[in-house]
Structure 1
Amino acid sequence: MAELRGCVFPEDLLYHPETHLWFAPEGEGCYRVGVTPFGVAIAGEILLFTAKPEGLQLTAGRAFGLLEAGKTVFPVKTPVAAELLGGNPALADSAAAMNVDAYASWLVRLRVAAPEPGVLLPWAAARAGIEAQMELWRFDELASFQAPLVGAGAREI
């Protein structure tokens, strides 16, 4: 298990640094998808997650659900073309469990036909991109990080 700035990153998962998502392979192109601890931290306290309808065909960049954190609702977008197999029924009433264990609280299951090379990355390849995102968000350590107000968190690029 890798650790970066107080966030754990299981090395058996794949990551997409820009969206702060993790992908757990289940076989036959299917993945459980969730938000990394870093993604949960920058979102602030997560309250609800609502998945889009099962069977929906998604193009890369399309939302598979809505995440509510504090007073903000934002779309969670897939970085790959996929079929939405369904949302996590354990999050139907509350997604607060994500604040405690980001890896036990997956969002959706997706069937990915053929991910483009370099999109879903193993930990060793994703580390630099995740660290770059942490720099943008002024994220030094999970234990001391305070989620910024919307629009006030990231450094100017």
Structure 2
Amino acid sequence: MAELRGCSYPEDLRYDAANHLWFAAESDDIWRVGVTPFGIAIAGEILLFTAKPAPRALNAGRAFGLLEAGKTVFPVKTPLDAELVEGNAALADSASLMNTDPYAAWLVRLRIPAADAAAHLLDWPAARIAITAQMDLWHFDDLRSFRPPLLGEGAKGLRA
């Protein structure tokens, strides 16, 4: 398990650094998807997740569900074409497990062809570089000391 500024990252997973998602292969084409610890930190305390109904074809950039953190609702988007196979219905009542164990609280299962996953999802060494750049933009030095910016403090939490 790698650690980056207080956030743990299993080295055997794949990542979408831009959307703060992790992908765990369950078979050649089924992937369990969740939010990274850094993604949770910048969103604030996660309360609920509601997946779109499955099965459903999704184009890259389309939302597969909504994540509620405080008084903000975020669409969670797939970085590549996929089929939504299943949403984690348990998170619709409470997604608090995401705040304490982000790798146990998966959001959805997506069907992604193996070649597409290999071409678009980052392995840990590549993800580490991209996540570090994102952390720098957010002025994220350490998980324990980071406080997400209030709305209006700047786009994507970027501060001058």
TM-score norm. by structure 1 comes to 0.95
Show structure 2 runs of 5+ residues with no match.
none
Aligned length: 156
Instruction: Name 1:49's counterpart in structure 2.
Output: 49
Instruction: Look up the match of 2:97.
Output: 97
User: Aligned with 2:120: secondary structure?
Assistant: coil
What is the identity, as a one-letter code, of the residue corresponding to 2:59?
T
Letter in 2 for 1:154: L
Residue 154 of structure 1 and its aligned partner are, at CA, apart by 1.5
Alignment partner of 1:108 is 2:104? no
Whole-angstrom distance in 1 between the partners of 2:48 and 2:98: 10
The farther-off stretch of 112-121 and 79-88 is 112-121
- Secondary structure of 1:91's counterpart equals helix
Post-superposition offset of 1:125: 1.1
Say if 2:151 is the partner of 1:150: yes
Percent identity at matched positions? 67
Distance 1:151 1:135, change over 3 A: farther
Aligned partner of 1:134 in structure 2 is 135
Q: CA deviation at 1:67?
A: 0.4
Task: Name 1:64's counterpart in structure 2.
Answer: 64
Following superposition, the deviation at residue 118 of structure 1 comes to 4.5
> 2:33·2:109 contact (CA, 8 Å) conserved in 1?
yes
CA contact (8 A) 2:31 2:111 kept: yes
TM-score normalised according to structure 2 size? 0.93
Paired residue type of 2:35: V
Please provide the CA RMSD for this pair.
Answer: 1.3
User: After superposition, what is the alpha-carbon deviation per residue over 1:66-107, rounded to whole angstroms, capped at 9, x for unaligned?
Assistant: 000011001000001000011112212111110011100000
Provide the C-alpha distance between the structure 2 equivalents of 1:151 and 1:13, rounded to a whole number of angstroms.
34
1:25 aligns with 2:25: yes
What secondary structure is seen at the aligned counterpart in 1 of 2:101?
coil
Say which structure is richer in helix. Answer: 2
Query: CA separation in 2, counterparts of 1:102 and 1:52?
Result: 20
What displacement does 1:30 show? Answer: 0.5
Structure 2 letter corresponding to 1:10:
P
8 Å Cα contact 2:51/2:89 also seen in 1: no
1:120 maps to 121
Match of 1:6 in 2: 6
